[in-house]
């Protein structure tokens, strides 16, 4: 009898374990951490609630929570679906798998033909059926942090930078999440050897994906691809260049790396200690916490932090032109503000963005610029005529000229476009006027920009699919007679153009002129 009572509890425990294995319960939070090569990870959370054989809850990637539309469990096998939206199109993702002793074995099945690239840590591949093992975690791990009330508004002092539109290079358009220390050094070398630096391209800017996690004191660290930021900024400075960094006001950046949320002062001080000269500050996951109407206050917080850092750091606002940023950009000491969503390396994207900037002209001024996004020149998706249009239009707009190609391997055609000093001079004109559309006829447009010395820049654009004759009469554009007319792409003076000029402009091409009284 004594012996039996000793054995019984053990049987009881075994029995209970056997029952719980049969009746799998998926209720709780599960996380799958996909490790990236840079030492960071891209986490997916499954926050599940099981009720009988029904499954509900959310799937969370970055800070985006998506509700499970329908879910079921049969034995230890489960299946659920969530609706996502990509480029305005709704798509249903299916997740299915089994509960095993080491966690949830989940297979993600995208709908057929779903495009897109994962660009976060561990991303970079195409979405396809993806298999993962998610392990149980605490219920609040990874949830968006509590809202920190934004500060009361005040004007931040102008930092004295960007008297003409910023010029330089940025890693995103070409390298995306693949940028590293060696590539930045290589680009800095090439900025000098190709003549980019001498032409005015001064800033070498690291975009998203340099970040590691925060240390125990909350200081931001770098990931494996950037082993020593101070050494890197020293190197870039030794070439006579300046260097830029990237963050955002949310907990995570657009690519899912650590953002500056709640660490604004600490980060600004760190950038200053590292020796950075430029900060691009990207809204992204701040939308999980703040409304668009909070943007000014949220950007002001970093504007203040940069000012207090004691180092002159150019402040580049990136919030895609929302909340009429041009109204308040200068008040947060913003030197430039994005006016649109992301540019892509194709004619449609570039021309739609570029030609839609006309109404913003009055907001551009020395120290504070509209930013229709970075250049794609040399990235391969457009023709030489299209890239000449891109370069000319951005210069007419007094936009930041941030090359987005691989400077280490530019061909002559790309060089001839990015290094066209006569066109760059329009962008960098010290009067700081943004050009405007003076005439439009079908798919042709004439844009005009007044320059500091009284000259006028004229760009004759053909947005159509076949060559077009474009005729400009100076009297219509505010000048009676021209003493000198210079073709800025042919690098030649034009004779017989005292009262006007006609040209056949190739499809998607441009003729750019500078006329002097």
Cα separations in angstroms, 290 against 71, 149, 249, 251: 31, 9, 10, 11
- Strand, helix or coil at 287? helix
- Strand, helix or coil at 238? helix
Q: Which is nearer to ligand GLA, 257 or 474 (CB)?
A: 257
Angle, nearest 10°, between helix axes 181-193 and 229-238? 10
The minimum distance between CB 92 and ligand GLA, in angstroms, equals 25
With beta carbons less than 8 A apart as the criterion, state whether 283 and 292 touch. no
Q: List residues near ligand GLA by CB under 6 A.
A: 172, 207-208, 253-255, 282, 318, 342
Q: Which is nearer to ligand GLA, 84 or 416 (CB)?
A: 84
The minimum distance between CB 185 and ligand GLA, in angstroms, equals 21
Q: Which is nearer to ligand GLA, 207 or 427 (CB)?
A: 207
The minimum distance between CB 117 and ligand GLA, in angstroms, equals 12
State the catalytic residue, choosing from 58, 292, 294, 342: 342
The minimum distance between CB 256 and ligand GLA, in angstroms, equals 8
Helix H or strand E segment including 98: strand 89-100
Q: Which is nearer to ligand GLA, 332 or 457 (CB)?
A: 332
Q: Which is nearer to ligand GLA, 282 or 304 (CB)?
A: 282
The minimum distance between CB 248 and ligand GLA, in angstroms, equals 8
191: left (phi over 0), alpha (psi -120 to 50) or beta: alpha
The DSSP line for 367-409 is TBEEE-----TTSSSS-HHHHHHHHHHHHHTT--EEE-S-GGG
Furthest-apart CA atoms within the chain: distance in Å = 120
Burial profile 427-450: b = 16 or more Cβ within 10 angstroms, e = fewer:
bbbeebbbbbbbbeeeebbbbbbe
Q: Which is nearer to ligand GLA, 121 or 432 (CB)?
A: 121
Cα separations in angstroms, 460 against 311, 356, 474, 480: 42, 16, 13, 18
The minimum distance between CB 136 and ligand GLA, in angstroms, equals 30
Q: Which two tokens stand for residue 328?
A: 């308040």
Helix H or strand E segment including 314: strand 314-318
Angle, nearest 10°, between helix axes 264-274 and 229-238? 50
The minimum distance between CB 243 and ligand GLA, in angstroms, equals 16
For residues 95 and 76, what is the distance between their CA atoms, to the nearest angstrom? 14
342 counts as catalytic: yes
State the catalytic residue, choosing from 207, 267, 282, 304: 282
First to last CA, the chain: 116
Residue among 157, 281, 174, 270 at smallest CA distance from 220: 270
Q: Which is nearer to ligand GLA, 241 or 255 (CB)?
A: 255
197 φ, ψ (degrees, to nearest 5):
-60, -45
With beta carbons less than 8 A apart as the criterion, state whether 389 and 358 touch. no
359: left (phi over 0), alpha (psi -120 to 50) or beta: alpha
The minimum distance between CB 341 and ligand GLA, in angstroms, equals 7
Q: Which is nearer to ligand GLA, 255 or 472 (CB)?
A: 255
Q: Which is nearer to ligand GLA, 255 or 419 (CB)?
A: 255
The DSSP line for 193-237 is HTSHHHHT--EEE--SS-EEEE-TT--EEE-TT-S-HHHHHHHHH
The minimum distance between CB 274 and ligand GLA, in angstroms, equals 19
Catalytic machinery residues: 282, 342
């Amino acid at each position: 009898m004594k012996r039996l009572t000793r054995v019984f509890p053990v049987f009881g425990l075994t029995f209970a374990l056997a029952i719980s294995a049969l009746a799998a319960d998926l209720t709780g939070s599960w996380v799958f951490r996909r490790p990236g090569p840079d030492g960071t990870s891209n986490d997916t959370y499954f926050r599940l609630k099981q009720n009988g054989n029904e499954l509900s809850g959310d799937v969370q990637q970055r800070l985006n929570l998506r509700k499970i539309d329908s879910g079921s469990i049969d034995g230890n096998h489960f299946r659920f679906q969530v609706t996502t939206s990509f480029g305005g199109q709704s798509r249903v993702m299916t997740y299915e798998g089994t509960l095993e002793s080491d966690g949830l074995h989940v297979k993600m099945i995208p709908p057929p033909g779903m495009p897109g690239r994962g660009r976060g840590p561990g991303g970079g591949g195409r979405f396809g059926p993806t298999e993962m093992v998610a392990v149980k975690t605490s219920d609040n791990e990874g949830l968006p942090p509590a809202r920190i009330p934004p500060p009361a508004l005040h004007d931040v002092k102008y930092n004295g930078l960007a008297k003409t539109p910023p010029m330089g290079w940025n890693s995103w358009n070409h390298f995306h999440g693949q940028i590293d220390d060696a590539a930045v050094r290589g680009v800095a070398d090439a900025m000098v050897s190709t003549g980019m630096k001498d032409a005015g391209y001064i800033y070498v800017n690291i975009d998203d994906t340099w970040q590691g996690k925060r240390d125990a004191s909350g200081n931001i660290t770098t990931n494996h691809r950037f082993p020593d930021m101070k050494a890197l900024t020293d190197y870039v400075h030794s070439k006579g260049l300046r260097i830029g960094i990237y963050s955002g006001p949310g907990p995570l950046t657009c690519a899912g790396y650590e953002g500056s949320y709640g660490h604004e002062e600490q980060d600004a001080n760190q950038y200053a200690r590292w020796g950075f000269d430029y900060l691009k500050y990207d809204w992204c996951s701040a939308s999980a916490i703040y409304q668009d109407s909070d943007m000014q206050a949220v950007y002001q917080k970093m504007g203040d932090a940069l000012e207090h850092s004691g180092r002159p750091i150019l402040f580049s606002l990136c919030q895609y032109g929302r909340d009429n940023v041009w109204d308040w950009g200068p008040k947060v000491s913003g030197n430039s503000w994005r006016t649109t969503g992301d540019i892509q390396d194709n004619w449609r994207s570039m021309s739609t963005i570029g030609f839609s900037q006309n109404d913003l002209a009055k907001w551009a001024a020395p120290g504070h610029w509209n930013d229709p996004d970075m250049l794609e020149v040399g990235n391969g998706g457009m023709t030489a005529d299209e890239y000449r249009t891109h370069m000319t239009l951005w210069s007419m707009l007094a936009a930041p000229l941030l090359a987005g190609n691989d400077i280490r391997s530019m061909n002559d055609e790309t060089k001839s476009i990015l290094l066209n000093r006569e066109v760059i001079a329009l962008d960098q004109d010290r009067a700081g006027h943004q050009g405007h559309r003076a005439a439009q006829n079908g798919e042709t447009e004439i844009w005009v920009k007044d320059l500091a010395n009284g000259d006028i820049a004229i760009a004759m654009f053909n947005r159509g699919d076949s060559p077009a004759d474009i005729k400009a009469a100076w009297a219509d554009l505010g000048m009676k007679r021209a003493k000198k007319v210079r073709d800025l792409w042919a690098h030649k003076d034009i004779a017989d153009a005292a009262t006007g000029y006609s040209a056949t402009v190739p499809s998607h091409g441009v003729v750019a002129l500078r006329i002097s009284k």
